[in-house]
């Protein structure tokens, strides 16, 4: 099948010549018998007509094969065959008008000729249909392989979040600050939330889609850690319809978005950050925040958002939306 999908003009010519040879085989079989009783001009005319018939079918098969492999993109065999029959009918009419000057005998215009055109249309349709099904299956296989790569990348990202020195240092600094304040209750709560975050990240390695409820519970733990770290200068408003809680979303979808908010914005007493997480009327999840750009912006490669877009495309076949009006940054995630 790769032979068809990667054909060049030489392969197309070869397919056309072989296909035409099969189509005109009845005429080849009858040719010696015909030439046996024809003489002179009639004999020459019959030979010329036979050559014309072979060349005509060769060109027509080449055009139909190209049309089926490159132009028709439907998996419905009936529609493909119908289009080929229309082209075949037009070609048949042209053939009759041209060949009338060569021959007026029954074999030139009769049932054998009609059968040859029908077989040609069917074979070209079949070749195109099988080729397109093969390409479609290959595309699905490639997407599955890409999904495996994306899932592996997601696991690597999750592992990186676990061992990220900054993540550890910030968490340890927050715990240290709580200990120095002798705030045992908050220290214990922080450690519990930290363990919840690690536990979710570890479990998410084996999951593709999770419920929105699971993802929000994770963010609730992560939120607590950020609020402690920034001394309540960052707040989260979560307004999600309870009826949406069982909808699916790729695991760890919110983590890179929240992380981007912290990385790219100034968060202090003059720039209090309020993160809004809510569902809209279309059943989508919106994550928005005011934009407080840092004086010296962090240099990032944008892999987080790009990876998130790829995961939504592969796991849900949907696209995320990003809006930035200069004052508010919003990411809209589809739910399933």
pLDDT in tens, 75-94: 677 777 788 778 777 877 77
Q: Are residues 93 and 175 in the same domain?
A: no
Sheet order of strands, 234-239 included: 234-239, 273-279, 285-290, 328-333, 321-324
* Distance (Å, whole) CA 184 – CA 179: 7
Q: Are residues 236 and 100 in the same domain?
A: no
> Looking at 54-58, 150-154, 267-271, which range is the least confident one?
150-154
Q: Are residues 120 and 172 in the same domain?
A: no
Q: Are residues 29 and 169 in the same domain?
A: no
Residue 263, pLDDT > 80, answer yes
DSSP string, 265-302: B--BTTB-EEEEEEE-TTS-EEEEEE--B-SS------
Write down the pLDDT at residue 290: 93
**Cβ atoms < 10 Å from Cβ of 107:** 13
Do the domain assignments include residue 157? no
Residue 159 — very low, low, confident or very high, per pLDDT cuts 50/70/90?
Answer: very low
pLDDT in tens, 9-23: 777 777 777 777 777
pLDDT in tens, 212-253: 999 998 888 888 888 888 888 889 999 988 889 999 998 888
Phi then psi dihedrals of residue 51, to 5 deg = -65, -45
Looking at the structure of the chain, the number of domains it has is: 2
Q: What is the percent of the chain where pLDDT is above 70?
A: 78
**Cβ atoms < 10 Å from Cβ of 234:** 22
**Residue linked to tokens 């908010």:** 261
pTM assigned to the model: 0.53
Q: Are residues 129 and 184 in the same domain?
A: no
């Amino acid at each position: 099948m790769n032979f068809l999908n990667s054909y060049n003009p030489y392969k197309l010519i070869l397919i056309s010549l072989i296909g035409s040879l099969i189509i005109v085989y009845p005429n080849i079989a009858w040719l010696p018998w015909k030439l046996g009783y024809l003489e002179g001009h009639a004999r020459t005319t019959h030979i010329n007509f036979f050559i014309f018939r072979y060349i005509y079918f060769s060109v027509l098969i080449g055009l139909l094969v190209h049309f089926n492999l490159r132009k028709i993109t439907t998996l419905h065999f009936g529609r493909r065959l119908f289009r080929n029959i229309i082209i075949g009918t037009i070609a048949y009419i042209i053939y009759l008008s041209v060949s009338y000057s060569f021959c007026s005998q029954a074999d030139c215009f009769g049932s054998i000729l009609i059968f040859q055109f029908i077989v040609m249309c069917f074979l070209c349709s079949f070749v195109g249909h099988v080729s397109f099904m093969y390409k479609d299956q290959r595309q699905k296989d490639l997407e599955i392989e890409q999904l495996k790569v994306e899932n592996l990348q997601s696991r690597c990202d999750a592992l990186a979040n676990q061992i990220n020195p900054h993540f550890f240092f910030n968490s340890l600094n927050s715990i240290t600050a709580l200990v120095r304040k002798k705030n045992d209750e908050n220290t214990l709560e922080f450690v519990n939330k930290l363990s919840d975050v690690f536990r979710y990240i570890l479990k998410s390695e084996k999951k593709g889609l999770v419920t929105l409820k699971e993802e929000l519970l994770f963010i609730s733990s992560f939120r607590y850690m950020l609020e402690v770290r920034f001394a309540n200068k960052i707040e989260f408003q979560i307004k999600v319809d309870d009826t949406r809680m069982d909808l699916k979303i790729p695991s760890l979808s919110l983590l890179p978005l929240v992380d981007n908010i912290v990385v790219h914005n100034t968060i202090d007493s003059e720039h209090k950050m309020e993160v809004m997480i809510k569902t809209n009327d279309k059943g989508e999840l919106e994550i928005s925040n005011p934009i407080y750009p840092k004086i010296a912006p962090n240099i990032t490669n944008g892999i987080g958002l790009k990876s998130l877009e790829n995961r939504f495309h592969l796991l849900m076949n949907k696209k995320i939306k990003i809006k930035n009006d200069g004052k508010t940054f919003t990411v809209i995630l589809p739910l399933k």
